[in-house]
Every structure is written in structure tokens, then in C-alpha cells.
Amino acid sequence: MKSHNKRVMGLAADKTFGYVYSIAEDGRFKLTEINAHSVVCDMQPGKSALKHMIYNSQRAIFVMADAEGFIYIYNQNHVSIYSQSYPFSILLKCYAKCKANLSLASEVYAQVLEDHI
């Protein structure tokens, strides 16, 4: 598996599991194992560039926003990282009409999740 083809827009690290999570304008979300320096998961949630990511390590929740205004919320807790299929289960995919400020929309969704999960 290769690195991102376009500019990286978001990074998060999880010291407990030794992973770095990244999103980029190539539309890919990648999970890299720090010690092995290898990509263990590569997925594309939508069809456009990923622009913003929030990671809550306590709940293993990812909130990502793409250039078209879609918000994707994934949970890492339910399946194995090393499965052949995507290791994240999607909790929610929705469309945010406020494309102008996707980072704010992502933060709002992350806070809603924090309050209700």
C-alpha cells in the first residue's frame, strides 16, 4: 500500500495501539502502524477529497468531512484492524449544507456524538 497521492489534510495518533490515522485530498483515509511503518488500512469513504477529521481516542470515533459536504462518522471498536474488509464500521453518513465551514460541521457532529453515546 502506498502513501497519499495528494496533500494530507488531517492527522491523528493513537499511542495505545501505535497507529497514525491520516486523511488527504486524494479522498483516502489511511491507518499506518507506527512501529512497522506500514499502511494496514486504506479506504475511500466517498468520491471527493477529504478535508477535515476529528478523532476521539476514548471512544475510537472518527468524524470526517469531504469536499462535497458529506460527513462520515466511523467507529473502530467493533471489528479487527487486520481484517480483510474495512476495519471500521460506519455509524453515520450525512450531508451538511454548510460546505463553507466543514470543520465546524464536523465539530458539531463530534460533540453531538459525545453527548449521546
pLDDT tens string 29-45: 988 888 888 888 888 88
pTM above 0.85, yes or no: no
Residue 2 lies in a domain: no
Residue 26 lies inside a defined structural domain of this protein: yes
In-domain check, residue 1: no
pLDDT tens across 59-92, in order? 778 888 888 888 888 877 644 444 444 456 666 6
Q: What is the pLDDT, as a whole number, of residue 50?
A: 93
Task: Write the pLDDT tens digit of every residue in 94-113.
Answer: 766 655 555 666 666 666 65
What pLDDT does 74 receive? Answer: 83
CA angle 79, 34, 38 (to 5 degrees): 75
Answer yes or no: is 100 within a domain. yes
Q: Is residue 58 part of a domain?
A: yes
Kindly report the length of the chain.
117
User: What pLDDT is recorded for position 110?
Assistant: 65
Q: Of 66, 117, 116, whose CA–CA distance to 96 is shortest? A: 66
Tell me how many domains the chain contains.
1
Give the CATH number, domain containing residue 49.
2.130.10.10
